[in-house]
A and B are shown apart, each in its own frame.
Chain A
Amino acid sequence: DTGVSQDPRHKITKRGQNVTFRCDPISEHNRLYWYRQTLGQGPEFLTYFQNEAQLEKSRLLSDRFSAERPKGSFSTLEIQRTEQGDSAMYLCASSLEQNEKLFFGSGTQLSVL
C-alpha cells in the first residue's frame, strides 16, 4: 500500500497524559499536512510542512500541540497534557506540491477520558 499511513488508528488516554501520532506520507510527496476533525464537522487545518520545514503553525490549537518532520519524510504530532476537548480524529495528508490535491490517511481517533 503506497498511500498515506497513520499510526495508531485508535488511541485512548487519560486526561493529562501526552500522546504522539505518526504519519508516513506518500513517498515522493514534499508537503505534509495535519488536520483535526470532530464529529459532524469538516477537517480543520492545523499545520503543514514543505519537506522538513514547518511553514505554517499558527493554527495549532494551543502550545500543547507540536509537530515535527525531522528528515522530510514521516511526521509526528504530539499533544501534551491532553484534555477531554482534544478528543477527535487527527488526519494526516500529503501532496506533491503546493496547490495540488491532498491524499489523506485513515486518521488516528483519539479519545481522552
Chain B
Amino acid sequence: GESVGLHLPTLSVQEGDNSIINCAYSNSASDYFIWYKQESGKGPQFIIDIRSNMDKRQGQRVTVLLNKTVKHLSLQIAATQPGDSAVYFCAENQAGTALIFGKGTTLSVSS
C-alpha cells in the first residue's frame, strides 16, 4: 500500500551533534521524496527533496540519502542547533498523485 513511516517518533541530541532521521517507504513506484520541518502552530516547511534517479542530495547543513533497494530515506542534519527542534516528516509522491506523509519524528536539541 501507499504508506510512509518513520523509525523513531522522537530523537534527542546535543547542540553541535549530527542528527539522522530515518524513514521507510513501501511504494516502490514512488519517484519523488521530500523532507519537511514543522514547528508548533505552523505549516510544514520544505527542507530538501530528492528524485528517484538520485541517491544523495546535499543542501545547507542537510543531506538526504535514498536507498531504493531497501526503500529507505534518511535526513542528516549537520551541527544540529536548538532552532532545528521541530517535527520532521518525510513524504513520498508517485507520479500523478499527491504527497503522502508519514507520522513524523520529533527532534529535540538541547544546549
Contact = CB atoms under 8 A, between A and B. Distances in A.
Interface of A: 4, 33, 35, 40-45, 48, 56, 91, 93, 98-99, 101-107
B49 A106 contact: no
A56 B97 CA distance: 8
Given A45-B98, A99-B95, 15 more contacts: A40-B103, A41-B103, A42-B101, A42-B103, A43-B101, A45-B99, A45-B100, A91-B44, A99-B31, A101-B49, A102-B34, A106-B41, A106-B42, A106-B43, A107-B43
Contacts of B98: 33, 45, 48, 56
Nearest to B48: A101
Contacts of A35: 101
Interface in B1-15: 4
A107 B41 CA distance: 8
A100 B41 CA distance: 24
Contacts, number: 52
A106 to B, nearest CB: 5
Interface residues of B, number: 25
Contacts of B89: 42-43
Nearest to A104: B43
A45 B97 CA distance: 10
- The 9 tightest CB contacts between A and B, nearest first, are A42-B101, A104-B43, A45-B98, A104-B44, A43-B101, A106-B43, A42-B89, A101-B46, A99-B32
B96 interface: yes
B34 A43 contact: no
B45 to A, nearest CB: 7
